[in-house]
């Protein structure tokens, strides 16, 4: 039996717990998710290094999964757009059962290996693309089909699974084992297995964005200011990075379509918006290198 499916011996009387004890047990069990990702950090770093030149060359991040794993892939792909101004068409997730499965479970869809292959093939993948297959069990046919299509198209393949020896890991160039063990509620991989997947995906994509010059220091300077909250965040980031007051930050942002990295270079290099954009372009969008260069 898979580790993720093996009944836990720690809380055999879980259904008898009162709410306080039940909550403590559920929360405490999540600690194993962090430890599992810690153990996988070297493998994740290697995957970032392998993905970086492909993504820098114009490749896409492709995600494939079913159920909770698939929904976490969708979440990671969607969040890259406002957080890092990542083009929507360059972060694409496919989910067993289609888009509707994001909201309503589509039973049996995860068993369709051919559909997994077809869903990736329709995206016309290529050698610059990076495909991340996610499956808690590590044996989901839909994900295995997607990975097979990725390999055929010469994509870089990354497999994320929560069981040692999983087929998804064997089918990937960069296997990421998140060995979370059994679940406090037997077989419910939406618990710590899912938590570990969320941490791993978030860490992988965030590290990749940092390496792609989407961050200055530890500041999110390539965000999209698409609502009032994000406008305030853009102003605060510009104030901090450039050491200016709010009025100065807002004025600079207003002259560059609220691009934080452009505003920072404008203010610190005393440039107009087109010149700051050109300077950033000469330095691959790196604020740090633009400030040090010409």
Residue positions annotated with a catalytic role: 79, 110
Give CA–CA dist 213/217, Å, rounded.
Answer: 10
CB neighbour list of residue 213: distance below 8 Å, 6 or more residues apart: 222, 284, 285, 286, 287, 289
Burial class (CB in 10 A: 0-12, 13-18, 19+), 9: exposed
Residue 219: left (phi > 0), alpha (psi -120 to 50), or beta? Answer: beta
Task: Name which of 244, 247, 248, 249 is nearest 234 in CA terms.
Answer: 249
Q: Let me know: does 147 contact 95? Beta carbons within 8 Å.
A: no
């Amino acid at each position: 039996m898979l580790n993720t499916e093996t009944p836990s011996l720690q809380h055999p009387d879980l259904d008898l717990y009162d709410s306080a004890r039940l909550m403590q047990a559920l929360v405490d069990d999540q600690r194993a998710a962090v430890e599992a990702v810690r153990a996988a950090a070297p493998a994740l770093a290697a995957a970032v290094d392998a993905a970086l030149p492909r993504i820098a060359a114009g490749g896409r991040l492709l995600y494939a999964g079913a159920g909770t794993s698939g929904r976490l892939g969708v979440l990671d792909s969607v969040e890259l757009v406002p957080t890092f101004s990542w083009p929507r068409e360059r972060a694409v997730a496919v989910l067993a059962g289609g888009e509707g499965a994001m909201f309503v479970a589509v039973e049996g869809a995860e068993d369709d290996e051919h559909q997994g292959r077809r869903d990736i093939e329709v995206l016309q993948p290529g050698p610059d693309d990076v495909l991340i297959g996610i499956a808690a069990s590590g044996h989901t046919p839909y994900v295995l089909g997607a990975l097979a299509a990725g390999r055929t198209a010469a994509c870089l393949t990354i497999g994320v699974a929560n069981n040692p020896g999983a087929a998804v890991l064997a089918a990937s160039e960069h296997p990421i084992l998140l060995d979370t063990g059994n679940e406090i509620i037997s077989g419910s991989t939406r618990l710590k297995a899912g938590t570990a997947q969320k941490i791993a995906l978030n860490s992988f994509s965030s590290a990749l964005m940092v390496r792609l010059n989407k961050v200055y220091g530890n500041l999110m300077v390539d965000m999209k200011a698409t609502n009032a909250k994000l406008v305030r965040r853009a102003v605060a980031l510009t104030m901090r990075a450039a050491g200016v007051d709010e009025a100065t930050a807002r004025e600079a942002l207003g002259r560059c379509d609220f691009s934080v990295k452009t505003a920072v270079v404008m203010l610190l290099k005393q440039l107009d918006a087109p010149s700051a954009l050109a300077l950033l372009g000469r330095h691959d969008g790196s604020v740090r290198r633009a400030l040090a260069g010409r």
